Structure 1
Amino acid sequence: MPARIAGRLPGELDEQQAEVYRAITGGARSTGPQLFPLTDQEGRLRGPFNAMLLSPPVGMAVQEVGAAVRYASVLTDRVREMAVLVVAAHWNSTFEQEAHEAVGRAYGLTDSELKALRAGELPALSDPAERAALRAALALTRTGVLHDREYYHAVAEWGERGLFELTSLVGYYALLALQLRVFAGEEPDGSCAPPQTESGTA
C-alpha cells in the first residue's frame, strides 16, 4: 500500500511544523553514526517522522519521548536496539526492522542474534541483564503483561528506572509501528489478530 500522506519539503512547512522538523533533524538523532537517513534527498522526513508534522504539539511530544528513550536511558545500546527489534518483529514493521538492524550491527549485534529477533525469538545471550530485558520486552509485546518473575528479574538487573524506560521504549516503538501502518503504507503480513466486527468478535 502506498503512503497515504505526502512528504513535505522544508520550505512548505509552517513555523510549528518547522520547529518539529528541526527538533527531529537537528537533535540527538543527527549525532553519532548516520546509519539510516531521517530525510530523503530533498529533505522530506522519512518513516514515522513525516506523520509527526500533522499535529505539531503531539508530534513534538512524541519525538521528545523517542529522543529520551534512545539517548537518555540507562539501557545499553545493545539492549535498546534488541528491544526495538522485538517490537518491529511483533508489528511486522519493515522500516523499524531495517533501520534498527543497521544500528544494532553498529553496536555489536551478530547475524544469529538478528535472525532470532527477526523471528520474534530470544537470542542466545550470555549476559543475564540482557536476557532479563529481552524476556521482559518479549512478554510485553506478546501479552502486555509482566508476571512477578519477569518483573522482579528485570528490576534486579536494571532497577525500577530501567524497567520503566524499557516499557516506555516498547510502547513508543509500537506507536511508531502503528503510525507507519496508518500513514506510511506499511502492511501487516497476516500474523496479527484478524479485524474485529462491531460486536467485538471476528
Structure 2
Amino acid sequence: MTGPSKPPIGLPASLEGATREQRRVAELIASGPRGSVPSPFLAMLDAPPLAEAIQAVGAVLRFSSILPDAEREIAILATAGAVRCGYEWNYHAPIARAAGVAEAVVAATLPDAFGMEDEPAATLIRLCRRVASEGESDPDLLTAAVERFGRAGATEIVAIAGYYRLLAGFIKAGGFDQPFSPFP
C-alpha cells in the first residue's frame, strides 16, 4: 500500500523535506502580508529564488496596488475565470465580496459567463480575459482601460492578468486546483 501521492512539483504545506533555502523563502512569504504560504507558492518552492521573486511581484500587485480593492479583486477573479483556475477564483471571491463587489459582477467573472454592461467592471473583465487567454489586448480595449483607470491603473490590470495566469500554471502543475465554488 502506498501513501498519498506527492504533487509533481512543489512542497506539502507541512514543508516536509524542505531545504534550508526553501524554508527561508516560505518563512519570508508567511511573515509578509499574506500571513501564510498559499498553494501557488508551495508549488514553486522547488526553485526558491524564483518563488521569492514571484511572490514579491504579487505582494506589490495585491497589497500596494493603486487600484481600489474592488477593482483589483474583479481583475483577479476575471483572470482566474479566464484561465479556469478554481483555486484562485475561490480564494479571491470572498475577498471581492468583502471589498463590496456586487454578486452579479462576481458571477460575471466565472468561466463561460456572459459579458456584462456594468462599467467599469465590464472593461476590467474584458481586458483581463483577453490578456489572460490571448496574451495581448486589442488597442481599443486598452484605450478604454486607460480612460477609466489611468495609465498606471491599466498597467496594473495587465500585470494582474499576467501574474495570476502565471500563478494558475503553478497551481495546476502542483495539483492544487479545485472546482469553482461560486456560492458563498
**By the TM > 0.5 criterion, same fold?**
yes
**Structure 2 counterpart of 1:159, from 141, 150, 162:** 150
Partner of 1:23: 28
- List per-residue Cα deviations over 1:105-131 (Å, max 9, x = no partner): 111123222222114444453x44x44
Residue identity matched to 1:63: Q
TM-score w.r.t. the length of structure 2 is 0.81
Contact 2:87–2:178 under 8 Å retained in 1: no
Partner of 1:4: 8
Contact 1:117–1:123 under 8 Å retained in 2: no
TM-score w.r.t. the length of structure 1 is 0.74
**Structure 2 counterpart of 1:148, from 139, 142, 153:** 139
Q: Structure 1 residues 71 and 122, CA, compared in 2 at 3 Å: closer, same or farther?
A: farther
Alignment length (residue pairs): 173
Shift of 1:187: 7.7
For 1:3 and 1:46, the matched residues in 2 are separated by 15
- Taking only the aligned residue pairs, the percentage that are identical comes to 28
Shift of 1:46: 4.1
Q: Provide the aligned C-alpha RMSD in A.
A: 2.5
1:135 aligns with 2:139: no
- List per-residue Cα deviations over 1:152-201 (Å, max 9, x = no partner): 1111222222122111111111011111111125389xxxxxxxxxxxxx
Partner of 1:199: none
Contact 2:83–2:133 under 8 Å retained in 1: no
Unaligned runs of 5+ in 1: 31-37, 39-44, 189-202
Q: Structure 1 residues 22 and 147, CA, compared in 2 at 3 Å: closer, same or farther?
A: same
Partner of 1:196: none
Unaligned runs of 5+ in 2: 180-184
Q: How does 1:71-150 map to 2 (within 5 A)?
A: 71-118=63-110, 119-125=112-118, 127-128=119-120, 130-150=121-141
Q: Structure 1 residues 54 and 147, CA, compared in 2 at 3 Å: closer, same or farther?
A: same
